[in-house]
Structure 1
Amino acid sequence: MRLKLVRENTKFDFFSRWKLWLGISMLMVVIGFTSYAIQGLNFGIDFRGGTTIRTESTQPVVIGEYRAALDTLNLGDISITEVFDPNFRADQNVAMIRIQAQEGQEAVEVDTIVQVEAALQTIDPGMKFPSVESVGPKVSGELIKTAALAVVLAIGAVLIYIWLRFEWQFALGAVAALVHDVVLTIGVFSELQIKFDLAIIAALLTIVGYSLNDTVVVFDRVRENLRKYKKKELAEVLNISINETLSRTVMTSVTTLLALIALFVLGGDVIRGFVFAMIWGVIVGTYSSVFVASTILLYLGVKRDWSKPDANAGNQFANIDA
């Protein structure tokens, strides 16, 4: 007996209230922009600058004990991760501790580093500190610019890819959905003031790929059905296409969310921000593939038969060829 999350031959009308769905999306985008403009993002050490201390101990690394020892110093954002390497000795336990730069300072002061080392040595008096590295605000600023450029270039590459594979109307619909997903993800991080670091940039790029994959599957079916149903209205063809791919969309999203929720609950603090971004991205990415990308395509229209240069246009915008 096969598991079916969506029954066969569904006939949902996704576009009877397309203006409402598009209005909701635009409202959420405005809220995201407003939150970002007012609160900004809670940047992590990667973007703020700070100091990284590498520790080495013969005792196992217990992150809870490390954090409890450092909490008394009131140093703000502290990230603690255990380092694993097959070349380590059996009694070689290594951790990386990242401390944000204090207000008005380029990096963590030497006296503060001494206090951190003394606090950690209360756990293991023989603990060693092989390296201490600092990242100043200038380097952090460059990372922010590079991260923003990476997201913009990814979306630009998607625009060109969809334009070449389909037509410009499909490309604009896909890019609108991707921008929608990225803006809402940044907006929710701004609104909830969740730490924003390089891992979240990786999540944003992953969300772009995930959302694009779902959108391309729908658009492929739309293009096939536009040739198959030449006399049906564009909205009807879009509804048929989305219903035909709905089972695949729901199954993919649900199975992905099952894995992500398990990681969010059991994965610990180190990856929780990344996983939260992925969960949010899967949800809004699935939503945008149907209610943003397809709605934009409905508004712009497409030619009904690519084999004829004078084919009927979907609406007034569809006469412009790429």
Structure 2
Amino acid sequence: MFKPVRLLPNKTNFDFLGKRRLALVLSTILNIASIAMVFVVGLNFGIDFQGGIAIEAKSLKGDADLAETRRIGSGLGLGEVSLQEFGAKDTILIRIQRQKGDEACVANASRLLTKAMGNGWSMKPVADTQSGNLELTAPGRISDDQAAKAAAAVGLPENLVRSGTSPATVALEQDQRDEWCQQVGILVAKDALASAYDFRRTESVGPKVGGELLHTGIISVGLVLLAIAIYVWMRFEWQFGVAALIALVHDVLTTVGLFAITQLEFNLTALAALLTIAGYSINDTVVVFDRVRENLRRYKRLSLVELLNVSTNETLARTLMTSGTVFLAVLALVLFAGPVLYSFSIAMLWGVIVGTYSSIWIANASLVYMHFRPDRVRPDDDEKEKTRITDVEVRP
């Protein structure tokens, strides 16, 4: 007969709550550092929140070669370019960071213009730095047909490129030039990948839409944390709900701080990681709280600190088993999932660690500092327990 493998002895007696002051100091430092890094360094917002370009493309040569496409995209001078399969192996979604209306954008437009119209055609910013005006140069007088073709080549409305003598001024406000540069970015990407892909859809995400997504994301995280706290409050006592909320805020803050320190891209995937971490953390916390509630009725003479230690030790093997298996699964994502899920995987890896830590030290310690009294356990719970025991005793 094989004996079952045990991660820990049948009974452990670690003094977790005896280290609560040290944990409080460590957590306070982590939270303050996280908030400071967010305001001082800032988050590296991705296309979802900062705005940018999204292009859906279908490979003309079978399965899409992401590695080669990524290599081409990184050499376009468009900044951050991310790729992912989109529904099928031959279809990809190309995301390009929001383009600035600077000289690099105008230089890209000038190359497109020269390629479409021939040598002698170029474009540069007008020296007046207070406007977004452009200067279009041609080898001779610009005809109506040439003006229309030149406008199409660089993504400008036809009425902005006028026929006549060269050079011609294209009148743009600075914000108009910023928006025009998104079209230039799309044209540059399409020009570089036209031989390998058929382009199905293009979108330009403006900063307003990105800002709305960020605002909505922050609200969603806040509502999730509040809803979880209310659930724990209704299931246990209000002190348990507040303790769970404190632990969840701790987990979310430190994870956001991780993004600020490492400058990993913070996008909708990272936001999903925050919500997943909150769900994972509260699952572990509720397991400990369930055991605390059971032991409140079982050990009437234990102090709160002793009772919390007993409850944490009794659930320790389950906690380590759950955390260990999730940690290994997420570690596999970090190592093998690739760049698309990298931010999510790193956040989840940290979330497993900090979520386990907060369940043991933050949530439990909060009950101590709120002076929760074991004798105030809900009387109806005691009555239900007595009724259950009586039924068992008298049952034939």
Q: TM-score, normalised by structure 1?
A: 0.90
- The CA deviation string for residues 51-78 of structure 1, in whole angstroms up to 9 with x for no partner, is 1111112322111100111222121111
Deviation at 1:301, TM superposition (A): 2.7
Unaligned runs of 5+ in 1: 86-91, 312-322
Unaligned runs of 5+ in 2: 102-177, 383-396
Question: Which residue is equivalent to 1:57?
Answer: 59
3-state SS, counterpart of residue 16 of structure 1: helix
**Of 82, 85, 99, the match for 1:102:** 99
Question: Which residue is equivalent to 2:12?
Answer: 10
Tell me which of the two structures has the higher relative contact order, counting C-alpha pairs closer than 8 angstroms and 6 or more residues apart: 1
- The CA deviation string for residues 247-294 of structure 1, in whole angstroms up to 9 with x for no partner, is 000000000011111111011111111111111111000000011000
Query: CA RMSD of the aligned region, Å?
Result: 1.7
Question: Which residue is equivalent to 1:83?
Answer: 86
3-state SS, counterpart of residue 213 of structure 1: helix
Q: Residue type of the partner of 2:291? A: R
Deviation at 1:106, TM superposition (A): 3.7
**Structural mapping, 1:263-302, within 5 Å:** 263-302=333-372
Alignment of 1:221 with 2:291, yes or no, is yes
Q: Residue type of the partner of 2:239? A: Q
8 Å Cα contact 1:178-1:211 kept in structure 2: yes
Separation in 1 of the partners of 2:196 and 2:233?
Answer: 61
Alignment of 1:136 with 2:206, yes or no, is yes
Separation in 2 of the partners of 1:15 and 1:75?
Answer: 53
8 Å Cα contact 1:50-1:107 kept in structure 2: no
Deviation at 1:188, TM superposition (A): 0.6
Alignment of 1:246 with 2:246, yes or no, is no
8 Å Cα contact 2:247-2:358 kept in structure 1: yes
Question: Which residue is equivalent to 1:120?
Answer: 193
- The CA deviation string for residues 278-322 of structure 1, in whole angstroms up to 9 with x for no partner, is 11111000000011000001111323243559x9xxxxxxxxxxx
Separation in 2 of the partners of 1:107 and 1:31?
Answer: 39
Question: Which residue is equivalent to 2:220?
Answer: 150
Q: Residue type of the partner of 1:157? A: A
Deviation at 1:108, TM superposition (A): 4.5
Q: Residue type of the partner of 1:42? A: N
8 Å Cα contact 2:182-2:204 kept in structure 1: no
8 Å Cα contact 1:50-1:108 kept in structure 2: no
Separation in 2 of the partners of 1:127 and 1:220?
Answer: 56
3-state SS, counterpart of residue 95 of structure 2: strand
Deviation at 1:112, TM superposition (A): 2.7
Q: Residue type of the partner of 1:114? A: L
Alignment of 1:71 with 2:144, yes or no, is no
Question: Which residue is equivalent to 1:26?
Answer: 28
8 Å Cα contact 1:249-1:286 kept in structure 2: yes
3-state SS, counterpart of residue 8 of structure 1: coil
Deviation at 1:213, TM superposition (A): 0.6
8 Å Cα contact 1:108-1:134 kept in structure 2: no
**Of 160, 170, 185, the match for 2:240:** 170
How many residue pairs align between the two structures?
301
3-state SS, counterpart of residue 329 of structure 2: helix
Deviation at 1:111, TM superposition (A): 2.9
Separation in 2 of the partners of 1:23 and 1:212?
Answer: 22
Deviation at 1:227, TM superposition (A): 1.1
- Say if 1:308 and 1:271 are closer, same or farther in 2 by CA, change over 3 A: closer
Separation in 2 of the partners of 1:106 and 1:172?
Answer: 46
- The CA deviation string for residues 164-205 of structure 1, in whole angstroms up to 9 with x for no partner, is 111111111111000000000000100110000001111111
- The CA deviation string for residues 131-161 of structure 1, in whole angstroms up to 9 with x for no partner, is 1111100000000000000000001101111
Question: Which residue is equivalent to 1:235?
Answer: 305
8 Å Cα contact 1:169-1:301 kept in structure 2: no
- Say if 1:307 and 1:262 are closer, same or farther in 2 by CA, change over 3 A: closer
